Amino acid sequence: MGNVFGKLFSISTWGESHGPAIGVNIDGCPPLVPIVREEIQAELDRRRPGQSRITTQRREADIVEILSGVEASLSTGAPIALLVRNEDARPEAYEHLKDLYRPSHADYTYQAKYGIRAWQGGGRASARETIGRVAAGAIARRILKDAHDVEIAACVKRIHDIEASYDLAAITRERVETTIVRCPDLEAAEKMIARIEEVRRQGDSVGGVIELVARNVPVGLGEPVFDRLEADLAKAMRSLPATKGFEIGSGLAGTFLMGSQHNDPFYLDGGKVRTRTNRSGGVQGGITNGEDIVIRVAFKPTATIQKEQETLTKSGEPTLLRAKGRHDPCVLPRAVPMVEAMAALVLVDHWLRLRAQRGPEVKSSPGATPPEKAMPLDAEHRKE
C-alpha cells in the first residue's frame, strides 16, 4: 500500500534500487496530450546519478521506455506505463549491510513492518524510487504549461549554513541549471559546492532547504477542508525521502508577525484581483488565489555516511558500521527536479478536480468564471 499518488491524475510507482527495473503507471492522463520522450528524459537527466562531481557516482543513464497509452505521440486517455532499467546495480556492495540496520535509514522499520526487506541499496526506500515521480511529473508539467502557461521552478536556497540570496520572482529553470548545485546565487553556489566536496572528503553529509515557485497558476485549485492545496503539497513534499519540514508563504517566520502585519491586502490590478503582499504563498483557505505559489522544503543530511557509527545487527548484536558504496553527500541538487515534479503532480490533479466539479457551464457571476483556458479564472474582474 501507499504507492499511489493523486486522485484523478493518479500515478503508481514500483521497483527497487537494485531490482531489474523501476517504473510508473499513470492513470487518468487526459487524451491528446503530446507525450514526448525527450521531455521526460530531460527531467530524468536532471535527476540521474553521476550527473556532476557532487552527486553519487553510480552510473545510470536512466533511459525511459514508453510502453503504453500513446498513439502518434499523443496520449490516448489510457494508462501510460513508463519503465527505466537499472543498469549499474551492484548488489554485492551491500553484502556487508545485509544483516544490520543502517542508522536513520529505513532498514529496521521495513524489517519490523514486513518481516522481510530488499536489503540491496535500500529497496523501495532508495531515492531511485523517485524516477517514476519525475517521469510522470514531466507529463504533468506539460499539461499545465499548455493549458495555463504554468511555470514551476525550484532551486537550492540553503546548504548547511550557506544561504543563497536571489529574487524568487526572477528565477527560471535555465538560471537554476547554470550551477551544478542548482542555486541561482552564483557566489553562494560556489561556497555550497565547496562545502559539499569538503564533507564528502570527510565521509560526512549535509542537508538544506529547497524553495519552489509556481507562476500563472489558475485561481481555484485546491479543495476546502482536508484536500487543501497546501495540505496536498505538504504531503507530496514530505513523501520525498529525507525531508524534515515544509513551509508555505511566510512559513515559520510569519508566526512572529501580528495579524495586521501578516494579512495580504487585496487590490485591483488592471481589473484583476491581486494581493499587495503574498504571505499566503498563493493559497488562501486551501485554494489558489492567482498569486505565485511559494513553498520551502527542508532536507536532512544524507543518512549514508562513511564515518563509523553505532548500530545493531538483525539479531540484536551491537556493532560498528562504516558504510561503503556510492552515495550523495548532499541530496539537494538532485532533489530540485523531484520537488518540481511533486508540485506539478499536485497541481495537475487539482486542475482535473476543478474541471470535474466546476466544468464550463457554471453561470457567470461576479467573482466567478469558468476554469477555462480561453477565459482564465483570474480574469474575472478584468474590465472591458
- Interface of this chain with a copy of itself, residues 110 to 149, rule: CB under 8 A: 110-119, 123-125, 129, 147
**184: DSSP letter:** S
State yes or no: residue 384 binds a copy of itself (CB under 8 A): no
Q: Which of residues 272-301 bind a copy of itself (CB under 8 A)?
A: 273, 275-276, 279-280, 284-289, 298-301
| φ and ψ at residue 238, rounded to 5 degrees | -75, -10
Nearer to a copy of itself, 197 or 223 (CB): 223
> Which region among 44-52, 63-71, 89-97, 173-181 touches a copy of itself (by CB under 8 A)?
63-71
State the amino acid at position 346 in one-letter form: V
Strand arrangement, sheet containing 64-66 = 4-5, 10-15, 21-27, 80-85, 64-66
| φ and ψ at residue 278, rounded to 5 degrees | -135, 50
Nearer to a copy of itself, 112 or 170 (CB): 112
Q: Which of residues 171-190 bind a copy of itself (CB under 8 A)?
A: none
Q: Which of residues 79-98 bind a copy of itself (CB under 8 A)?
A: 79-81, 83
Nearer to a copy of itself, 67 or 170 (CB): 67
Q: How far is the CB of 66 from a copy of itself (least distance, A)?
A: 9
Task: Find residue 274's DSSP bridge partners.
Answer: 267
Nearer to a copy of itself, 1 or 174 (CB): 1
In the list 38, 226, 270, 384, the residue contacting a copy of itself (rule: CB under 8 A) is 226
Distance in angstroms (rounded) separating the CA atoms of residues 261 and 228: 24
In the list 69, 121, 137, 184, the residue contacting a copy of itself (rule: CB under 8 A) is 69
- Record the cell numbers describing residue 113, joined without a space: 513492518
- The label of the residue with cell 564528502 reads 200
Q: Please check whether residue 13 is in contact with residue 137, taking contact to mean a CB–CB distance below 8 angstroms.
A: no
In the list 45, 227, 325, 326, the residue contacting a copy of itself (rule: CB under 8 A) is 227
> Which region among 35-43, 49-57, 171-179, 369-377 touches a copy of itself (by CB under 8 A)?
369-377
**Dihedral sign from CA coordinates of 17, 23, 28, 29:** positive
Tell me whether strands 80-85 and 64-66 are parallel, antiparallel or unpaired.
Answer: antiparallel
Distance in angstroms (rounded) separating the CA atoms of residues 157 and 170: 14
Q: How far is the CB of 174 from a copy of itself (least distance, A)?
A: 27
- The label of the residue with cell 518540481 reads 340
Distance in angstroms (rounded) separating the CA atoms of residues 188 and 50: 22
State yes or no: residue 30 binds a copy of itself (CB under 8 A): yes
Q: Please check whether residue 81 is in contact with residue 69, taking contact to mean a CB–CB distance below 8 angstroms.
A: yes
Taking CA 82 as the corner, what is the angle to CA 215 and CA 304, rounded to the nearest 5 degrees? 75
Nearer to a copy of itself, 167 or 318 (CB): 318
Q: How far is the CB of 290 from a copy of itself (least distance, A)?
A: 8
Query: Binders of a copy of itself: how many residues, by CB under 8 A?
Result: 171
For 269, other C-beta atoms within 10 Å of its C-beta total 11
Q: How far is the CB of 172 from a copy of itself (least distance, A)?
A: 25
- Mask of contacts with a copy of itself, 308-327, x by CB under 8 A? -xxxx-xxx-x---------
Nearer to a copy of itself, 117 or 172 (CB): 117
State yes or no: residue 225 binds a copy of itself (CB under 8 A): yes
Give the orientation angle of helix 37-47 with respect to helix 332-358, to 10 degrees.
Answer: 140
CA 274 to chain centre: 27
Nearer to a copy of itself, 173 or 238 (CB): 238
